[in-house]
């Protein structure tokens, strides 16, 4: 009996392994999308996957790719580069996808990009923003989003015209994204005449950031710039509130600071905090507001720049596959190079910028959490609401 049970178990497992590959018919064009669907970065993965899903339905609803349907195969990188790497290998070798998309965390994106280049597989990045990714000369890797050192371009004029800080402290999570952006921000500060009094990295996932924040309090900078993922961003702000830090402004470097979950987790500590952002629904891009309302209706939740990146990446992928002469990697690559389209995330065109190749260039913006809502506040022309400055933190945190 026991033997029979064991035998049938092995049989079932073997069947489970082979079944899915056997049942697919080649009526669809498959594109592999690698996102952090579980793990610490899951909130970002969720918003992006939802957006990919909306786009996929719309594309297929309006005729698909030259009559064929497009299908996004999702793989979970769990927020770890090694998993991302094997996910990419699986999609390329086992699922035989036409091209790759996705890529959230910079470290994971770097791993995927490496695999893609080795296998000569076109890869369109929509979020991973470490500068180095497009500096390696990898001609099969394209990036839709601005790179990390561009994130705060829109912030610079806000700093020089409004806040005019003398000193600044930079706190960053010490993987690719944080390190890359913090270095660039420190250089920018020097250029703008802001003295960087403290730059410190931390391991993401800490319980107690107070030791770090005590040092910030001692340095008493005018500006605190933080580059963090979601949970760290919330804890940093909550503990800043506890320690009664009093800078002129708290500014986040995108990522954790723009997600709708940020005010949920940080509570009133999130109020009036600013962040750089790459997109806002009120921007004059075709379909931007449309996408925002669709997302909100369907998922009963707000979306922000990560979602918009994913949504427009899906459209770029569809556009590229439509234009490509064949589905061979080289033809897809050629089609990617020739991309020139307007998406809800902004115009997309892959160009060479400095050392970077296949890089899209877009302006960036500043947003602020006002009464629990993320509002675009800078530049003034596109702003939905006037910025709140100066802020009396003691009053906000009562």
Write out the residues near another protein by the rule CB under 8 A: 38-40, 42-43, 78, 174, 200-203, 206-212, 214-215, 217-218, 230-231, 238-239, 241-244, 264-265, 267, 269
Choose between 45 and 64: whose C-beta lies nearer to another protein.
45
CA end-to-end span of the chain:
68
Helix, strand, coil shares of the chain, percent, nearest 5, are 45, 20, 35
Residue nearer to another protein on the CB measure, 203 or 340: 203
Q: Give the nearest distance from C-beta 197 to another protein in angstroms.
A: 15
CA-to-CA separations, 306 to 42, 245, 390, in angstroms, rounded: 12, 29, 28
CB of 235 to another protein, least distance (A): 8
Q: Distance between alpha carbon 186 and the CA centroid of its chain, in Å?
A: 21
Residues 6+ apart with CB under 8 A from 24: none
Q: Please check whether residue 41 is in contact with residue 79, taking contact to mean a CB–CB distance below 8 angstroms.
A: yes
Smaller CB separation from another protein, 138 or 397: 397
Tokens of 263: 């005010």
Give whichever of 146 and 263 is closer to another protein, judged by the CB atom: 263
Given a contact cutoff of 8 angstroms between Cβ atoms, the answer to whether 312 and 343 are in contact is yes
Which candidate, 295, 392, 324, places its Cα nearest to that of 65?
324
- Asked if 323 and 359 touch (Cβ cutoff 8 Å), the reply is no
Buried residues in 190-204 as b, exposed as e (16+ CB within 10 A): eeeebebbbbebbeb
Q: Rank residues 244 and 293 by Cβ distance to another protein and give the closer one.
A: 244
Task: Please report how close the Cβ of residue 264 comes to another protein at its closest, in angstroms.
Answer: 8
Compute the least distance from the CB of residue 200 to another protein, in Å: 6
Q: Which is nearer to another protein, 208 or 381 (CB)?
A: 208
Q: How far is the CB of 16 from another protein (least distance, A)?
A: 16
How big is the chain, counted in residues? 398
Cα gap 259→368, rounded to integer Å: 12
Q: How far is the CB of 366 from another protein (least distance, A)?
A: 25
For residue 379, is the peptide bond before it cis, meaning its omega torsion is within 30 degrees of 0?
Answer: yes
**Residue 149 or 239 having the CB closest to another protein:** 239
- Residue 19: CB minimum distance to another protein, A: 21
CB of 241 to another protein, least distance (A): 6
How far apart CA 8 and CA 270 sit, in angstroms, is 55
Q: Which residue has the tokens 């020089």?
A: 160
For another protein, give the closer residue by CB, 72 or 209. 209
């Amino acid at each position: 009996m026991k033997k029979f049970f064991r035998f049938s178990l092995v049989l079932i497992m073997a069947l489970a392994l082979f079944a899915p590959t056997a049942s697919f018919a080649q009526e669809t064009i498959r594109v592999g999308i690698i996102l952090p669907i579980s793990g610490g970065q899951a909130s970002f993965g969720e918003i992006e996957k939802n957006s990919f899903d909306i786009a996929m339905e719309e594309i297929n609803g309006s005729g698909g790719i030259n009559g064929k349907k497009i299908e996004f195969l999702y793989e979970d990188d769990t927020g770890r580069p090694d998993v991302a790497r094997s996910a990419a290998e699986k999609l390329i070798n086992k699922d035989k996808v036409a091209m790759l998309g996705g890529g959230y965390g910079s470290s994971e994106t770097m791993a995927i990009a490496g695999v893609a280049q080795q296998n000569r597989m076109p890869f369109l990045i929509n979020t991973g923003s470490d500068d180095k990714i497009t500096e390696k000369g990898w001609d099969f890797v394209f990036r839709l989003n601005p790179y990390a050192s561009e994130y705060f371009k829109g912030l610079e004029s806000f700093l020089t015209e409004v806040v005019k800080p003398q000193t600044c402290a930079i706190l960053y999570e010490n993987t690719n994204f944080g390190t890359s952006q913090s270095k660039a921000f420190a250089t920018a500060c020097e250029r703008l005449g802001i003295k960087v009094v403290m730059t410190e990295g931390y391991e993401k996932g800490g319980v107690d950031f107070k030791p770090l924040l005590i040092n910030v309090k001692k340095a008493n900078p005018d500006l605190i710039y933080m580059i963090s993922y979601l949970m760290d961003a919330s804890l940093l702000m909550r503990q800043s509130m506890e320690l009664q830090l009093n800078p002129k402004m708290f500014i986040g470097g995108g990522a954790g600071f723009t997600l709708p979950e940020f005010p949920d987790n940080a509570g009133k500590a999130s109020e009036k905090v600013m962040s750089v952002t790459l997109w806002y629904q009120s921007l004059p891009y075709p379909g931007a507001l449309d996408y925002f309302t669709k997302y909100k209706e369907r998922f009963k939740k707000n979306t922000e720049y990560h979602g918009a990146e994913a949504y427009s990446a899906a459209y770029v992928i569809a556009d590229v596959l439509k234009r490509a002469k064949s589905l061979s990697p080289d033809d897809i690559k050629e089609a990617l190079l020739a991309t020139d389209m307007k998406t809800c995330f902004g115009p997309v065109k892959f160009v060479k910028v400095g050392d970077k190749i296949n890089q899209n260039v877009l302006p960036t913006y500043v947003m602020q959490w006002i009464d629990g809502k993320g509002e675009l506040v800078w530049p003034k022309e596109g702003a939905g609401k006037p910025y709140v400055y100066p802020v009396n933190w003691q009053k906000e945190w009562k």
